[in-house]
Amino acid sequence: MLVNIDAKQIEWVAAVFWSQDPVGMEEIKQEYDIHADNQKRLKLPTRLIAKTLLFRTIYGGTGYSFATDPEFSNFGGEKWWDEKITTFLTKYQGLRAWHERLYQRVVLNDGKLDLPTGRSYIFHPSKNRAGELHYPRPKILNYPVQGLAADLMAIARVSLHKRLKALNFNGILWCNTVHDSIVLDIKNELWYNISNEIVVVTQEVFRDIPLNFKRLFDLEFNLPVRAEITYGPNWADMTEIT
């Protein structure tokens, strides 16, 4: 049985944590459906497009990137998309301000960015069409978020491995995972016997991420991290555990 443990909106959680955007923080704590809100508020045609706009905007996406993308160009031109992005950032002004602070920090430090978790990044400038040197804004906004998401998931993986090992469950295979999920392959007969325990332990692992983050980095993580668990015999037939 495949069991997929997916961190809910981990990149959005990471971006809101770094920016301490008050609106985003309250919405995450209240388990607000940001994608449904964005679809309705920004008058976007589908939930998938609303999700894409959220994540591209986190990384400094512009109307140009949407207007030149074949998957989105039919919905509006560059100006139309820029208006959507501006409306989004007007709501999350803390995120917008953090974007500017982050970029200026890199510029002032000659391309170097140090984070409180110990990660360091070096960005190299390049020339734009006018021949002026500039730093890669999308990468500058992307790397701290992706790096923090990776740290949070590393905490979850190690914690879950230790807790399952302590329960002495034999017959669980850890699979390769993408950055925001954990995949377990569990013998069918074992899964039907321990599924409740897996769910409880997983919920504890994600609930305790802020505590373990504080222990590792001496930094308060003041947002909850949650997970969605699905299971099934293959990727095409997965059922969500509610």
**Residue position matching structure tokens 């993308």:** 69
Is residue 10 over pLDDT 90?
A: yes
| Closest among 71, 109, 103, 66 to 85, alpha carbons compared | 66
| Distance in Å from the first CA to the final CA of the chain | 18
pTM over 0.85: yes
pLDDT at residue 208 tops 80:
yes
How wide is the angle at C-alpha 83 spanned by C-alphas 82 and 89, nearest 5°? 90
* pLDDT of 23 strictly over 90: yes
- The tally of CA atoms less than 13 A away on the side-chain side of residue 232 is 10
Question: What is the distance between the alpha carbons of residues 61 and 122, in angstroms, rounded to a whole number?
Answer: 21
Q: What percent of the chain has pLDDT over 90?
A: 82
Taking only the tens place, the pLDDT of each residue in 136-175 is 999 999 999 999 999 999 999 999 999 999 998 888 999 9
